[in-house]
Structure 1
Amino acid sequence: MEQPKENQPNNPLHGIKLVTILEHLEARYGWEGLGSRIRIKCFTDNPSIKSSLTFLRKTPWARTKVEELYLRSIRKK
């Protein structure tokens, strides 16, 4: 019998959607600020939530950088 998946109490990103993270960062830093903090084209060249989500879902290293910036930004509050 399969055991249910356990909660991840030590994972601060557990239950937070990528779109929520991106919306938070865009509101806090703006696209220009995001582009200067994380040098990826989806933040610097005609940025949008939709295009950024598409890129980040396909690019694990970039998603990791975005998640790290998010965690730093919420710790500073």
Structure 2
Amino acid sequence: MSHTLLSSPAFNTVNSLRSVLAKASATVDAAIVHVHNFFAQGVEERQREEEDADLAEATDRYDLEFRMRKQDRLRGGSYWSNGNNR
């Protein structure tokens, strides 16, 4: 009798539905990650372009270094502002 239950159309339908839902869930997850990466990359690219434009407006070497230090401080400081440039 149990063999009949496993081969019933309802059991196959439930398994098929689970399979379809699992594939759909994976597809939606991948799409969400793709959209997030697209927008995050766009924001980072615009910020980088703005920083590059600011550096391009430097009038001499000292002005350029000043602008670089200012950008580092705005980002939380890494190379110039924490003394690791020795």
Q: Which has the higher contact order (CA 8 A, sep 6+)?
A: 1
Band of TM-score, shorter chain: under 0.3
Instruction: Give the number of the structure whose residues are more often helix, by fraction.
Output: 2
- TM-score in terms of structure 1 length: 0.27
- TM-score in terms of structure 2 length: 0.26
